[in-house]
Amino acid sequence: MKIVDLSLPIDEKAFEIHHVQIERVTHASGVEKFNRVIMGKTLKGKIQYLLGKRILRKEDMPDEEFLSLEVVHAPVHVGTHLDYSFHYGTKSEGRPSKTADEIPLEYCYQDGVKLDMSHKKPAESITAKDIEEGLKKINYTLKSLDIVLLRTGADKLYGGPKYFADYPGIDVSAIDYLLDKGIKIFGVDTMGIDRPYRFMLKEFLEEKNPKKFYPAHFYGRIREFIHIERLANLEKLPGSGFKIICFPVRIRQTGAAWARVVAIL
């Protein structure tokens, strides 16, 4: 058995549109953090802390070290993650949208299929015809619940501004094609399923056509689907013959959730 990691990290040093911060409490400073938190729970404790009292000192710890602690401040759309219908709108298929903690877990451990879309250029869209041609190349027929991964190669741009500007989007026709085959989850190695802002927003402002703005995401209001964004290393996978595991982190009432997505060969 071989496991291939298909996930990108949450990295405060990488270029991101949204603010990402990881507060890192070191082993050496952990004792002081402990005192401040524990003593800060009461007014008396706060005053004593400010006056210099400590209930725990580094000399009390083995090697004068406490426990490390990392606090992550980041949107659920940073790092590899699954989006569900609540992200797209308040309703999907005429019903209240579902949040990421409601994603059926049986959808998240299924046979995987990888389609090579690396020929698609930025500003272009992956269409139903592209999906059909990709399936013919690997001689594969989709079955219900397959997890379809679309490789563009855009993950190699991660860490810099181009990651947010140079990748193809997904056309609604491709989403329809997959859903009609019984697909519940599909994934991309791009930062989103719609085309980059520099193309999408420009056309929307020029034409004042709402269909030009986030068409793939907003289609989730019409038909319910789950998709994975920010995948990586898809070039390491064959076209089929592997399993995908993409269980979302259980965060209450969010439109997306982080996941450590892996392939099992």
pLDDT band of 132, cuts 50, 70, 90: very high
CATH number, domain of 207, equals 3.50.30.50
At residue 76, what are phi and psi to the nearest 5 degrees? Answer: -70, -5
Query: Is 131 in the same domain as 49?
Result: no
Instruction: Kindly state whether residue 182 falls inside one of the protein's structural domains.
Output: yes
The answer on 88 and 59 residing in a single domain is: no
- Let me know whether 101 and 89 are in one domain: yes
Final residue belonging to a domain, choices 73, 93, 111 = 73
Do 96 and 107 belong together in one domain? Answer: yes
Q: What is the pLDDT of residue 201?
A: 84
Q: What is the pLDDT of residues 156-195, one digit of tens each?
A: 999 999 999 999 999 999 999 999 999 999 999 999 999 9
Q: Is residue 16 part of a domain?
A: no
Q: Looking at the structure, do residues 44 and 81 belong to the same domain, yes or no? A: no
Domain identity same for 125 and 164: yes
Closest CA to 25 of 13, 14, 33, 16: 33
Under the banding of pLDDT at 50, 70 and 90, the label for residue 31 is: very high
> Contact 67/27 with Cβ under 8 angstroms?
yes
Q: How many domains does the chain have?
A: 2
Percent of the chain at pLDDT > 70 equals 100
Q: Considering 50, 73, 96, which residue would you say is the last residue of a domain? A: 73
Position 208 pLDDT exceeds 90: no
First vs last C-alpha separation in the chain: 6
Phi and psi at residue 175, to the nearest 5° = -65, -45
Mean pLDDT of the chain: 95
What's the pLDDT score for residue 144?
A: 98
At residue 227, the pLDDT reads 98
Indicate if 135 and 245 belong to the same structural domain: yes
**Rounded Cα–Cα distance for residues 221 and 89 (Å):** 6
Give the pLDDT band of residue 210 (cuts 50, 70, 90). Answer: confident
Query: What DSSP string describes 35-80?
Result: HHHHHTTSHHHHHHHHTT--S--GGGSGGG----EEEEE--TTSSS
Contacts 24+ apart (CB under 8 A), 136-140: 137/239, 138/113, 138/114, 138/239, 138/240, 140/113, 140/239, 140/240
In a domain, 15, yes or no: no
For the segment 204-209, the average pLDDT, to the nearest whole number, is: 84
144-157 per-position pLDDT tens digit: 999 999 999 999 99
* Together in a domain, 189 and 210: yes
What's the farthest any 2 CA atoms get from each other in the chain?
Answer: 73
Q: Which domain holds residue 52?
A: 21-73
- Would residue 244 count as lying in a domain? yes
Is residue 212 predicted with pLDDT exceeding 90? no
Do both 96 and 225 map to the same domain? yes
